[in-house]
């Protein structure tokens, strides 16, 4: 079987402080990006194996897909006898939740084909054990996520056209959060809340990430200078920055200008999010 596994964007991301368990208290509005997706190919086999078509993506016990399999096996006592192949289309280290989405899909597949038939409540708890973004991907819709990401409430996001851009480097999530305390705003960079329809665009992780990766601050400001763009933001902990287009604006024109002015090596994608 083949399962399309969507990316996500953080439209709002507020960091409330560090918790006693070492994680950070969050309030984030996330929306799936269904047309940007990885593909999980799951086939019956004598024993579990995992492979990925993208060089550099770990395929050992540190990969979230493998962690999801091991967690399911421990929880149910069932052995996973499937060959799993991951076709990567969501960039790694991009703040688009590719690994978390892959893990959530793997949990759902195992529960669908296995005999244990765990409740959705238990699957959500297991998703929270795997990572802060994984519970969101179990929902399949826009959601507010609080706590460290495990407290989920459905949200509403009107449809919007977006252009995504990611440079050739990634950002480590742990480093971004670790540098949040004491981070400062860069002069000339806009961090304030931007309103796009009913959505407020703001990301508290821009401060620590932009301090370290000045190019991402430049990329956001480039978006905000374009006449087609209503708002711009970094997604998650980066390194993807996206622009929300004004109604009727042509994404192709923005993409062409983006590559010409900010670098041909950029990964660029455009499409629609919201519901």
As annotated, the active-site residues are: 8, 133
With H, G, I as helix, E, B as strand and everything else as coil, classify residue 27.
strand
- Which residues have a Cβ under 8 Å from the Cβ of 11 and sit 6 or more positions away? 29, 30, 31, 157, 199, 200, 201, 233
Top CATH class of 160-273 equals alpha beta
- Do 240 and 94 contact (CB within 8 A), yes or no? yes
Beta strands, E only, the chain: 2-18, 24-44, 49-52, 82-87, 143-147, 151-154, 160-166, 194-196, 199-203, 229-234, 241-245, 267-273
Architecture of domain 2-153: 2-Layer Sandwich (3.30)
Q: Which residues of the chain have pLDDT under 50?
A: none
pLDDT of residue 22: 67
pLDDT of residue 177: 92
* Domains of the chain, residue spans: 2-153, 160-273
- Choose among 204, 101, 197: nearest CA to 157: 197
pLDDT of residue 150: 85
Give the helix, strand, coil percentages of the chain, each rounded to 5.
Answer: 30, 35, 40
pLDDT of residue 242: 98
pLDDT of residue 21: 74
Read off the pLDDT of residues 169-193 as tens digits, 9 standing for 90 and up. 999 999 999 999 989 999 999 999 9
- Which residues have a Cβ under 8 Å from the Cβ of 214 and sit 6 or more positions away? 186
pTM given for the model: 0.94
User: Can you say how many angstroms the Cα of residue 134 is from the centroid of all Cα atoms in its chain?
Assistant: 9
Say which DSSP state 79 is in.
Answer: -
- Do 235 and 241 contact (CB within 8 A), yes or no? yes
pLDDT of residue 217: 98
pLDDT of residue 130: 95
| Percent with pLDDT over 70 in the chain | 100
């Amino acid at each position: 079987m083949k399962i399309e596994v969507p990316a996500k964007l953080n439209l709002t991301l507020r960091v409330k402080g560090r918790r006693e368990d070492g994680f950070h208290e969050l309030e984030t509005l996330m929306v799936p990006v269904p047309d940007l997706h990885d593909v999980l190919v799951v086939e019956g086999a004598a024993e579990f194996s995992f492979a990925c078509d993208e060089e550099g993506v770990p395929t050992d016990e540190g990969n979230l897909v493998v962690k999801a399999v091991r967690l399911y096996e421990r929880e149910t006592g069932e052995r996973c006898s499937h060959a799993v192949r991951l076709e990567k289309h969501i960039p790694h280290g991009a703040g688009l939740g590719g690994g978390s989405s892959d893990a959530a899909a793997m949990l759902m597949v195992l529960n669908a084909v296995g005999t244990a038939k765990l409740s959705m409540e238990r699957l959500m708890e297991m998703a929270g054990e795997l990572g802060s973004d994984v519970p969101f991907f179990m929902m399949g819709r826009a959601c507010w996520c609080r706590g460290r990401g495990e407290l989920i409430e459905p949200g509403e996001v009107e449809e919007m056209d977006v252009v995504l851009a990611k440079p050739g480097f990634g950002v480590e999530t742990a480093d971004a959060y670790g540098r949040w305390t004491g981070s400062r705003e860069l002069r000339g960079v806009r961090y304030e809340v931007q309103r796009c329809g009913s959505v407020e665009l703001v990301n508290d992780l821009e401060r620590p990430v932009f301090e370290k990766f000045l190019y991402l601050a430049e990329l956001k400001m480039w978006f905000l200078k374009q006449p087609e763009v209503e708002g711009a933001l970094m997604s998650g902990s980066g390194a993807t920055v996206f622009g929300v287009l004004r109604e009727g604006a042509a994404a192709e024109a923005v993409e062409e200008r983006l590559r010409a002015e900010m670098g041909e090596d950029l990964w660029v994608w455009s499409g629609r999010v919201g519901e």
